[in-house]
Amino acid sequence: MKWAVLTFFPAAALLLAQNVNYQPDTKWRAPEEAAARKNPLADKPELAAGGRKLFKRNCVECHGDSGQGLKKAADLQLPVVQDQSDGALHWKITNGNPDRGMPSFSGIPELQRWQIVLYLRTLKPGATENKSPAGEPPSR
């Protein structure tokens, strides 16, 4: 019995620390023209490092250090999230889904939101911490 207890808890902790069963809200969808927008920073992958800083400051409290999703927040490593276009992710970050606990980040400057999208693309399934080279967000 003791053995069962010891093995159960680490597994449970792991499940709570990553929202692998996350399912996107089907009613929360970027309009077509927003989803079709291209990331203006797509040819500057080095700016993902600044995106990581913005992510640490604004997002880890809910999405966790490596975007794995705490509690109800989306596991951003999942294909259901990564398969969406840059434009769709940018739109979701901008508008949020307050009914389901995702705030709007329209207060973060436009280009910095695109920079966060760059960083989201570096998230790898199973990573505990994402290391990227140092870099500063562009001023705008």
Contacting residues toward ligand HEC, per CB under 6 A:
24-25, 28, 55, 58-59, 61-63, 72-74, 76, 81, 84, 89, 92-93, 97, 100-103, 105, 116
Q: Cβ of residue 39: shortest distance to ligand HEC, in angstroms? A: 13
Task: Please state the φ and ψ torsions of residue 93, each to the nearest 5 degrees.
Answer: -65, -40
Q: Nearest CA to 41 among 96, 122, 97, 103?
A: 122
Nearer to ligand HEC, 1 or 117 (CB): 117
Least distance from ligand HEC to the Cβ atom of residue 14, Å: 20
How far is the C-alpha of 27 from the C-alpha of 31, rounded, in Å?
11
- Cβ nearer to ligand HEC, comparing 14 with 80: 80
Environment class of residue 58 by beta-carbon count within 10 Å: exposed (0-12), middle (13-18) or buried (19+)? Answer: middle
30: nearest Cα among 109, 90, 72? 90
Q: Which residue, 72 or 124, has its beta carbon nearer to ligand HEC?
A: 72
Considering the complex, what minimum distance in angstroms separates the CB of residue 134 from ligand HEC? 20
Q: Half-sphere exposure of 56 toward its Cβ, with a 13 Å CA cutoff?
A: 11
CB of 116 to ligand HEC, least distance (A): 5
Please, which residue, 2 or 27, has the CB nearer to ligand HEC?
A: 27
Distance of CA 62 to the CA centre of its chain: 9
